[in-house]
Amino acid sequence: MSTPALDATLGPAAPAVAGADAVTATGRTRTADGLRRWAVRSASLAAVVAVWQWLTTADARVGLRFDRLPSPAEVAAEFGRQLGTRIYYLDLAQSMIRILTGFALAAVAGIALGVLVARSRWAGDVLLPPVEVVRPIPAIALVPIAILVFPTDEQGIVFITFAAAFFPIMVSTRHAVRALPTLWEDAVRTMGGGRAHVLWNVVLPGTLPGVFGGLSVGMGVAWICVISAEMISGEFGVGYRTWHAYTVVDYPAVLVGMASIGVLGWVASATIELLGRRLTRWLPRVDEGVEGGAR
Amino acid sequence: MTAPAVDAARADAGLAIRLEGVSLGYGRHAVLEDLRLDIAPGEVLVIVGPSGSGKSTVLRAIAGLLAPRAGRVLAEGVPVTGPSTDRAMVFQDDALLPWRTVLRNVELPLRIRGVPRRERRTAAESWIARVGLAGCEDRLPRELSGGMRQRVQLARSLAGAPRAVLMDEPFGALDAQTRAGMQRLLLDVLRDTLATVVFVTHDVDEALLLADRVVVLGHRGGHGGIGRVLRVPDPRTPDIDRAGLRARIIEEL
C-alpha cells in the first residue's frame, strides 16, 4: 500500500542525485508533497483516537453510551500486556495458518476451475450448475455442515475459509479468460504452440490482472469468514480470543482483538495488492498519465 | 516436418501453397467461394482488396487458424489442418505479448520449438539487431512506438525460421513515413530469406513495391473471389514506372 507512494517520491529523486538542477527541484517538491499527504493521513487517524479518548474519559452519554466503552489508553495498556504473552502470538499464528491454507487452496482451485470452465464448454456444462447453486450460500452458513463433515474443527475452519475465497476467485478468473483477446492466442498458435503453450504463455499471464481482482476480494471475504468461524468453533485464533473476551466481559481485550483483526486483514489485502502490482507491471499504467496531466 | 521425402537441403526453402476450391466464411455466412490459387515457393504474393473483401480471412485459412467450409488448403501438397511453425504470421497490431520484453517475445517461437536457452537468446538478439532495435531487448511492448512494435513482430515471426511468412496488413496502422521505412526494412530482410511471403494490404502502391505477383480480391456474383492475378515485371526494383499495372489493379478493385 505504501510502496507506490514511496516509488513516487524515490523515482524522480534517484536521478536527481546524479545532477540536473531542474530534476532536483521537482524531486524536492514531490517529496515535500508526499510528506504533507502522510502528515494529513496521520493527523486524521490521531484525531479519531483523540475524540474517542475524550468521549470515554468524559463519560459522554449522548444517545450512545460511551461511559462503558474502554478508552484508547485502557486498550493500549491491555494491548501492551497481551504483547508480552505467548498466547497472543499463538492466536495470531493460528489465524494466519488457517487463512493462508484456505486461501492458497482456494486460489489454486479457483484459478484452475475458472480457466477450465471458460475454455471448455463441456467442463462448463458439467461443473457450473452445482457451483452456481452453492455460490449464493454465504460461507459462514456452511459452518453446521463443516462441523458435521470434517473430523476436526481445524479442517472445518480451513474449509470455511476456502469456500469463502473460492467463488470470487473462480468467477473473476472465468470472466478474465473469456475477455482475453483471441489475437495473442492466434499469435502463439501460428508459432506452433499447442494448448499447453497457449495456457502457459497467454491465458495465465493475460488473465492475471482479472485474477488478482478476484484474489483481493477473496482475501477480504476469507478473512471475515475465518474470524467468524473461529468465534463459533475453535480453541485458538484471534477470532476465538476476541469472542472469549466478550463472554467474560473483558472489553479492553475485545477491542485489542478487533484491532488485531483489522491490522492483520489489512496486511493480508495489502500483500495481495502489492504482489498483483508487481506481477502486472506490463499493464499500461494509469497513474503515469494522471501524474503527467497534473503537472 | 511433413513429408519424409523433404531432404535437409530444402528444409528452409520456401513453402509451396495451393488453394483448391476453398470456400471460407464465419458461421453460416460465406465470405469467399471457390478460391483457386497456386503460390510458388519463395515468391512474394500480395493480396489486395478493399476492406471487407476477406483478405485477412484467406490468410487465416493459410495459417490454419480457420478451417475452410469447402475445398482444401495444401502446404507442400499436404492438407493444412492447423497452425504450424512452418507458417508464421505477422498481425496488424498489438500481437506482441504485452507482459514479455522484446527479447522474450522474439524468443518465444524458439522456446516453443524447444531450442536451448543460450542458442535462442543468440538467435533472438541477432534478429532484434537485424530489425534495428539493438538495445531495446529489455523493453516492454507498451514502451515502444507502433513502428517499433511491428519491427519486433517481424523479428519474432522470422526468428522461428518459417518456410512461409503470412503478413496481415502489418503496416496498416502506421503513419506514412514509418510505413515507408518498414517497407524498406522488409525488402532488405526478404532478400536474405527463401521463405514464401503472402502479404495482405489494401494499399496498391505497397503491393507493387513488394510483389512478384498481385492477386486482386473482389466481388463477383454476390460472393467474393479471386479476380485477376497479375505478374509484376522486374519485381522489387526501384524507379520502374508501374503506372499501367497500377491502373489495371485499381480497375479490378
Could you say which of B87, B96, B97 has the minimum Cβ distance to residue A190? B87
User: CA-nearest residue of chain A to B99?
Assistant: A282
User: CA-nearest residue of chain B to A190?
Assistant: B83
Which residues of chain A lie closer than 8 angstroms to B142, CB-CB?
282-284
CA atoms within 13 A on the CB side of B30: 15
**Cα–Cα distance for residue pair A222/A134, rounded to 1 Å:** 16
Do A60 and A107 lie in one domain? The reply is no
- Across the interface, whether the CB atoms of A202 and B97 are under 8 A apart is answered yes
Do A101 and A56 lie in one domain? The reply is no
Do A212 and A261 lie in one domain? The reply is yes
pLDDT at position A274? 94
Highest mean pLDDT among A289-293, B101-105, B187-191: B101-105
What CATH number should be reported for the domain holding residue A176?
A: 1.10.3720.10
- Across the interface, whether the CB atoms of B65 and A201 are under 8 A apart is answered no
- Across the interface, whether the CB atoms of A205 and B94 are under 8 A apart is answered no
Number of domains in chain A: 2
Q: What's the pLDDT tens digit per position in B129-185?
A: 999 999 999 999 999 999 999 999 999 999 988 999 999 999 988 998 899 999 999
Work out the average pLDDT over B50-77: 91
Residue type (1 letter), B142: R
B33 has pLDDT over 70: yes
- Across the interface, whether the CB atoms of B160 and A191 are under 8 A apart is answered yes
Do A81 and A204 lie in one domain? The reply is yes
Contact in structure between B184 and B14 (CB atoms under 8 Å) = no
Do A149 and A46 lie in one domain? The reply is no
Helices (H), A69-85: 72-83
Could you say which of A190, A201, A284 has the minimum Cβ distance to residue B63? A190
Contact in structure between A165 and A109 (CB atoms under 8 Å) = no
CA distance A184 to chain B (A): 6
Looking at this predicted complex, what is its ipTM? 0.89
- Across the interface, whether the CB atoms of B142 and A282 are under 8 A apart is answered yes
Within 10 angstroms of residue A96's Cβ, the number of other Cβ atoms is 16
Contact in structure between A25 and A13 (CB atoms under 8 Å) = no
Do A271 and A215 lie in one domain? The reply is yes
CA distance A199 to chain B (A): 13
Domain limit, last residue, from A69, A103, A125: A69
Contacts of A71-79 with C-beta under 8 Å, sequence gap 24+, read A74/A252, A75/A252, A75/A255, A75/A256, A75/A259, A77/A252, A78/A252, A78/A253, A78/A255, A78/A256, A79/A256, A79/A259
Do A88 and A60 lie in one domain? The reply is no
- Across the interface, whether the CB atoms of B83 and A208 are under 8 A apart is answered no
**Which H/E stretch holds residue B166?**
strand B164-168
CA distance B188 to chain A (A): 23
**Cα–Cα distance for residue pair A46/A49, rounded to 1 Å:** 5
Tell me which residue has cell 458461421: B27
pLDDT at position A232? 86
pLDDT at position A143? 87
**Cα–Cα distance for residue pair B83/A209, rounded to 1 Å:** 28
Task: Show the low-confidence residues of chain A (pLDDT under 70).
Answer: 1-29, 286-295
Residues of A with CB under 8 A from a CB of B: 181, 183-184, 186-193, 197, 201-202, 205-206, 208, 280-284
Q: What's the pLDDT tens digit per position in A269-279?
A: 999 999 999 99
pLDDT at position B45? 95
pLDDT at position A15? 40
Do A24 and A77 lie in one domain? The reply is no
Question: Is beta strand A64-65 parallel, antiparallel or unpaired with respect to B78-79?
Answer: unpaired
pLDDT at position B219? 67
Residue A64's beta-bridge partner residues? A62
pLDDT at position B29? 76
- Across the interface, whether the CB atoms of B109 and A191 are under 8 A apart is answered yes
C-alpha cell at position A77:
495498556
Do A84 and A58 lie in one domain? The reply is no
Q: How would you list the strands of the sheet with B44-48, edge to edge?
A: B78-79, B70-75, B17-26, B29-39, B223-231, B213-220, B44-48, B196-201, B164-168, B87-90
Residues of B with CB under 8 A from a CB of A: 60, 63-65, 82-85, 87-89, 91, 94-100, 108-109, 112-113, 140-142, 156, 160, 166
User: CA-nearest residue of chain A to B156?
Assistant: A191
- Across the interface, whether the CB atoms of B108 and A208 are under 8 A apart is answered no
- B1-86+189-253 belongs to CATH 3.40.50.300: yes
Containing structural domain, residue A222: 72-293
- Across the interface, whether the CB atoms of B99 and A187 are under 8 A apart is answered no
Do A129 and A19 lie in one domain? The reply is no
Domain limit, last residue, from A25, A52, A69: A69
- Closest C-alpha among A155, A157, A131 to residue A143: A157
Do A152 and A167 lie in one domain? The reply is yes
Do A217 and A284 lie in one domain? The reply is yes
Q: What's the pLDDT tens digit per position in B223-251?
A: 667 777 888 888 888 778 888 888 888 88
pLDDT at position B222? 57
CA distances from A217 to A78, A171, B73, B211 (A): 32, 11, 49, 55
Residue ranges covered by each domain of chain B:
1-86+189-253
- Suggest the residue from A189, A190, A202, A208 to mutate for an interface test with chain B (most B CBs closer than 10 A): A190
Handedness of CA B77, B78, B81, B82 (dihedral sign): negative
Which residues of chain A lie closer than 8 angstroms to B141, CB-CB?
282
